[in-house]
Amino acid sequence: MASQQLNAPSRAQSGIPATVPPSGVAHQRHRHTEKFTVIGNHLAQHEGMSLVALGLGVYIQSLPDGVNVGIKSLAARFEEGEVTIAKGLRQLEAYGYLSRTRERTPQGRWVTRTVAYDMPSALIQQPPMPKPNPTPKPTTAPAPATATATGPVPAPATMSAPANTRSPARTPSPAPPLPEPDPPPLPAAPARPRVVPLQNCDRCDHAFRAPEPGTCPGCRAASRPAS
């Protein structure tokens, strides 16, 4: 009786790694030589951000400079809505992977300046500052010797004044100047008015002033049901 021939593919043909862990994922590694992006595990495995924020962070870091990453552009690229994408971008800003600032162009238009960071500033180790050189302590001069090996040092000879010479009258020292009066206190500076910060609308990405993020007055009015 002829033996049955088995045509099952080998591990190498099926793409299964030679060493498989008893549980969990098994990686089939490939060395990329073009069209790849290096992503730190501090972002890809961040424990404080949502899956949407992680995906947005990886996607934004893979883009070249100059690509629009506004809320509307990302909502047109992915299936998530504008509100979900806006929350993900705010998480990237909170953890230092993204910054969005409003700037006025020379033509008077307001634009959003976006900067993506592959390493948050909180994880960048600053070089240690050099320690200042300690100020040397002043040394005290040794006291003059009063005796030698052969005996005490003789006192220096003084010349005596002639008998008929009178001592000149001493001139009284001038009185010390009076202290200057203190200057009058400066008037208190007026309290500066509280400036409401600029926010980006979660729906239209336009700037508006509000104490907290959200939607602009126009979008809120448009979402209200007609009476």
Most confident of the following: 95-99, 194-198, 211-215: 95-99
The percentage of the chain sitting over the pLDDT mark of 90, rounded to a whole number, equals 23
* Token digits of residue 147: 């005796």
Q: How confident is the model at residue 60 (pLDDT cuts 50, 70, 90)?
A: very high
What CATH code is assigned to 36-123+201-221?
A: 1.10.10
The DSSP annotation for 142-167 comes to PPPP-EETTEEPPPPP-PPPPTTPPP
Identify the pLDDT of residue 172: 66
Q: How confident is the model at residue 214 (pLDDT cuts 50, 70, 90)?
A: confident
Identify the pLDDT of residue 184: 78
The label of the residue with tokens 């020379």 reads 106
